[in-house]
Amino acid sequence: MNNGKGFFITGTDTGVGKTLVSCALLHAFAAGDNTVIGMKPVAAGCENGKWMDVELLVAASNVMAPREQVNPYALIPPLAPHIAAKQAGIEIEVEVIYQAYLALQSMAEIVVVEGAGGFLVPFSDRFDSSDLAQKLGLPVILVVGLRLGCINHALLTAQAVRAAGLTLAGWVANSIDPQMLKMEENIKALEQRLECPLIAYLPYMQPVDELRSSELLDITGLIKN
């Protein structure tokens, strides 16, 4: 297991499968007899009184923790986090999230932290998702939503992760557009350029299946230390 006892999951955009991959990782690590907890520091978008990303992460965890630690900031409108927070009269604070993470870290061997949107999404006027990732200091796993334009988005995200001084531990190719042309060629282009392991190719699934996806992940390189 890595020294940070966890991973930070980011994506090329919103809606590219970060929650699917985070849950699949939790299932995969748990299958290896690890205690695991999923964390969603900032969730925006409430449906029927629930934040579905958070519910899915809780369901995929094998250690239960207080909801305010799993999800310190639960924002109702489905807006960019800094806008939703301002609308609610809340300021998202990195130290609050960090302390919640430390509490989770004391409960489980591996904490999977799912980011919000892309790697540079703002949380306030003063800090963004990359600042949070730096504070946590965790290896980053990049979820690439396979669709037209994903190569540029993935390479820019990888550049931002490394510029923040963080390790890009691997990436997941997630098929979100079943009509995408030349998918294999796009994956090959990213394999040649991202300079980190491809953890899995996840085929298009409707509905998504976290358990099936977990079986497709190659996590051996993630926990070897």
Active site residues: 40
What six digits make up the tokens of 145?
Answer: 């939503």
Q: How far apart are the first and last CA of the chain?
A: 5
Amino acid at 119: F
- Rounded to an integer, what distance in angstroms lies between the CA atom of residue 218 and that of residue 198? 8
Sheet holding 36-39, edge to edge: 36-39, 110-118, 6-11, 140-146, 168-175, 198-202
Q: What is the DSSP-derived secondary structure letter of residue 208? A: -
- Of 152, 161, 96, the closest CA to residue 124 belongs to 96
Q: How many CB atoms lie within 10 A of CB 179?
A: 8
Residue 72, C-beta contacts closer than 8 angstroms, at least 6 positions apart = 41, 42, 96, 97, 100
Rounded to the nearest 10 degrees, how much is the dihedral formed by the CA atoms of 105, 94, 114, 10?
Answer: -130
| Peptide bond before residue 122 is cis, with ω within 30 degrees of 0 | no
What are residue 75's DSSP bridge partners?
44
Helix (H, G, I), strand (E, B) or coil at 68: helix
